[in-house]
Amino acid sequence: MKQRRKVIRSQNQIPWKIRLIEWVETLFFLVFAVLLLLFILYILKSFMGIDLFPDFSLGIWDWLTGKK
Protein backbone atom coordinates (compact mmCIF):
# COMPACT_ATOMS: atom_id res chain seq x y z
CA MET A 1 0.00 0.00 0.00
CA LYS A 2 2.84 2.42 0.82
CA GLN A 3 4.47 1.69 -2.51
CA ARG A 4 1.25 2.59 -4.32
CA ARG A 5 0.97 5.91 -2.44
CA LYS A 6 4.50 6.87 -3.48
CA VAL A 7 3.70 6.22 -7.14
CA ILE A 8 0.48 8.25 -6.96
CA ARG A 9 2.25 11.18 -5.21
CA SER A 10 5.11 11.20 -7.68
CA GLN A 11 2.71 11.23 -10.63
CA ASN A 12 0.88 14.25 -9.21
CA GLN A 13 4.04 16.30 -8.76
CA ILE A 14 5.04 18.59 -11.59
CA PRO A 15 8.48 17.72 -12.98
CA TRP A 16 11.23 20.23 -12.19
CA LYS A 17 11.89 20.88 -15.88
CA ILE A 18 8.32 22.05 -16.43
CA ARG A 19 8.53 24.26 -13.33
CA LEU A 20 11.75 25.76 -14.66
CA ILE A 21 10.14 26.45 -18.03
CA GLU A 22 7.18 28.12 -16.29
CA TRP A 23 9.54 30.33 -14.26
CA VAL A 24 11.50 31.31 -17.37
CA GLU A 25 8.29 32.14 -19.24
CA THR A 26 7.06 34.25 -16.33
CA LEU A 27 10.39 36.05 -16.04
CA PHE A 28 10.46 36.71 -19.79
CA PHE A 29 6.94 38.13 -19.68
CA LEU A 30 7.75 40.40 -16.73
CA VAL A 31 10.94 41.71 -18.36
CA PHE A 32 9.09 42.31 -21.64
CA ALA A 33 6.24 44.11 -19.82
CA VAL A 34 8.66 46.37 -17.92
CA LEU A 35 10.61 47.22 -21.08
CA LEU A 36 7.38 47.98 -22.94
CA LEU A 37 6.22 50.22 -20.10
CA LEU A 38 9.54 52.08 -20.08
CA PHE A 39 9.33 52.54 -23.85
CA ILE A 40 5.80 53.93 -23.61
CA LEU A 41 6.81 56.29 -20.82
CA TYR A 42 9.79 57.47 -22.89
CA ILE A 43 7.55 58.14 -25.89
CA LEU A 44 5.07 60.07 -23.73
CA LYS A 45 7.93 62.09 -22.22
CA SER A 46 9.21 62.92 -25.67
CA PHE A 47 5.71 63.81 -26.90
CA MET A 48 5.28 66.27 -24.03
CA GLY A 49 8.68 67.82 -24.73
CA ILE A 50 10.20 66.99 -21.36
CA ASP A 51 13.98 67.02 -21.54
CA LEU A 52 15.57 65.06 -18.68
CA PHE A 53 19.15 65.48 -19.88
CA PRO A 54 19.97 68.64 -21.85
CA ASP A 55 21.33 68.02 -25.36
CA PHE A 56 20.86 64.24 -25.11
CA SER A 57 18.33 62.09 -26.94
CA LEU A 58 18.08 58.45 -27.92
CA GLY A 59 16.47 59.54 -31.17
CA ILE A 60 13.45 57.26 -30.87
CA TRP A 61 10.93 60.11 -30.98
CA ASP A 62 12.67 61.67 -33.98
CA TRP A 63 12.74 58.31 -35.71
CA LEU A 64 9.01 57.75 -35.07
CA THR A 65 8.02 61.23 -36.26
CA GLY A 66 10.34 61.11 -39.27
CA LYS A 67 12.49 64.05 -38.15
CA LYS A 68 16.26 64.13 -38.47
- Residue 56 pLDDT: 80
59: which DSSP letter?
S
- The DSSP output letter for 66 is T
Q: What pLDDT, in 10s, does the model give residues 22-34?
A: 999 999 999 999 9
Of the listed ranges 7-11, 18-22, 38-42, 54-58, the least confidently predicted one is 7-11
Higher pLDDT: 59 or 7? It is 59
Q: In percent, how much of the chain has pLDDT > 90?
A: 37
- What 8-state DSSP symbol labels residue 57? -
